[in-house]
Structure 1
Amino acid sequence: MNLVIEERLKDLGVSLAYTVVEFENGAYSEAIWDELLKPLIAKIEENDSIEMIKDEERMIATKKVYRALGKDPARFRPSSDSLWRRVIQKKGLYQINNLVDANNYFSLLYKLPFGSYDLAKVGETVTLSVGETGESYAGIGKKAVNIENLLVLKDEEGPFGSPTSDSTRGMIGEDTTQAVLIGYVFGDIATADMQQEIKAVVEKYLKDCRVVQQDVI
């Protein structure tokens, strides 16, 4: 796939760390939960607090970009904030499917928004842009998501993803066989190490997984 970031967003320090995979998805992976998510959740519940979210460097960098674009991160929380906050409050995580569960693991681990998108449902060229005035889309688990002034991924059909909440159009299903996992990166982060770990995890925990493309732009 071809990912593009608008120059104004590059100037704000935004980049995308992406991994394209071919795999066989599934409804539930005991290994993903027992070896990845449950230990991480237990660690967060024991050691983390809401105050830590406010002081975490990656959260600060993420929300700085939201504000620069005119979006209030307290009302439209980055998914990384929402997930971390939910675990700290001991509300648990929804179990969705193997790729989405792995996606949430990476978001909790790296304190960055991550999104996974079915490549059969989105265009080959995808641009990171900003939602236009009055723009919205049908969100996963939501009737509508206000994406005005929000970072959005869009193809020739329009926006379908954001670091706050994704649309139903590109959502991952159990029948998904080709997907892109995208980390929305804000500020200076050792993305090479992160990408190496992501590759190792998906190849180990997703059935018949092959990483066919991986890069940071």
Structure 2
Amino acid sequence: MELVVEERLKELGISLAYTVVEFTNGAYSEEIWGGLLNPLIAKIEEEDTIDMIKDDENMIATKKAYRALGKDPARFRPSSDSLWRRVIQKKGLYQVNDLVDVNNYFSLVYTLPFGSHDLAKVGEKITLTVGKEGERYAGIGKKDVNIENLLVLADDDGPFGSPTSDSTRGMIGEDTTQAVMIGYVFSEMDVDAMQQEIKAVAEKYLKDCKVVDQGIV
């Protein structure tokens, strides 16, 4: 897999932290929910407020980048905003499958958008670019996502992912065995420490998991 960030986006301070994993996916993991998500959800419900979302440095930087590209982050919320807001409002999280559930954990912990994609369903070269005028795709749980002016991941067949809502094309299924987890980074932070934690959590909580590649572009 080759991951590329367009130069104009690098100039806005945008980078991608990626982790490639080989693993056995599952429909539900008691260890993931009991050891990771349920304690985190309880903590957020007890301690966090909507104002904390507005004041969070990662969230501020994320939304600033959206506006710079011409996308309203209040209408097209970053997934990290949507997840955090949902938990604060005590609506819980959807349980999907092991990798998606771990992906959501990372998004809540680091207050960054994270996306996971099945590498068997997307091309070998993936580019972070911006959606073109009138461009749309079928989103996961959504019939149609307007990706015009939105950050998107694209291969030779077109866009398939974004920090707001991923498409169905590269979605993770229970049959997924190799995937890439991508964190969208919009400000200076200790990405190396984050990557080390991601590797440790993935190899502990995903069945038969091996991290085969990690990097920052």
Q: TM-score range by the shorter chain?
A: over 0.9
AA of the residue aligned to 1:42: A
Distance of 2:156 and 2:122 partners within structure 1: 9
Aligned to 1:39: 39
Give me the TM-score of the superposition, normalised by structure 1: 1.00
> C-alpha separation between the residues in 2 aligned to 1:34 and 1:24?
19
SS of aligned partner of 2:19? strand
CA separation in 1, counterparts of 2:15 and 2:100?
Answer: 21
Q: CA deviation at 1:196?
A: 0.1
1:103 counterpart SS class: helix
Correspondence list, 1:95-106, <5 A: 95-106=95-106
SS at match of 2:28: coil
User: How far did 1:123 drift?
Assistant: 0.3
**1:154-189 deviation digits (Å, cap 9, x = unpaired):** 000000000000000000000000000000001101
Structure 1 CA distance for aligned equivalents of residues 189 and 159 of structure 2: 26
* Rounded Cα–Cα distance in structure 1 between residues aligned with 2:6 and 2:152: 11
Q: Does 1:160 align with 2:165?
A: no
Moved over 6 A (4+): none
Percent of aligned pairs sharing the same letter: 79
User: What residue identity is the alignment partner of 1:191?
Assistant: V
Partner of 2:66: 66
Q: Which residue does 1:82 correspond to in 2?
A: 82
Matches within 5 A, 1:137-152: 137-152=137-152
Amino acid at match of 1:186: F
SS of the residue 1:104 aligns to:
helix
Question: Can you list the C-alpha shifts for 1:47-100, whole angstroms capped at 9, x where unaligned?
Answer: 000011001000000000000000000000000000000000000000000000
Tell me the equivalent position of 1:128: 128
2:201 maps to which residue? 201
Unaligned runs of 5+ in 2: none
Structure-2 residue corresponding to 1:14: 14
- Distance in 2 between the 1:35 and 1:177 partners? 23
Give the aligned partner of residue 25 of structure 2: 25
Compute the RMSD of aligned alpha carbons.
Answer: 0.3
Q: For residues 15 and 44 of structure 2, what CA distance do their matches in structure 1 show?
A: 26
* CA–CA distance in structure 2, aligned partners of residues 199 and 52 of structure 1: 27
Q: Which SS does the other structure have where 2:54 is aligned? A: helix
Instruction: Tell me how far apart the structure 1 counterparts of residues 139 and 204 of structure 2 sit (CA, whole Å).
Output: 30
SS at match of 1:126: strand
SS in 2 for 1:40: helix
CA distance in 2, matches of 1:5, 1:216: 10
Write the deviation string for residues 75-129 of structure 1: whole angstroms up to 9, x where unpaired. 0000000000000000000000000000000000000000000000000000000
Residue identity opposite 1:173 in structure 2 = G
| 2:108 partner SS | helix
Cα distance in structure 2, aligned partners of 1:61 and 1:211? 28
Give the equivalent residue in structure 2 for 1:55.
Answer: 55
**Partner amino acid, structure 2, of 1:183:** G
Whole-Å separation in 1 of the counterparts to 2:125 and 2:71? 25
- The one-letter code matched in structure 2 to 1:75 is R
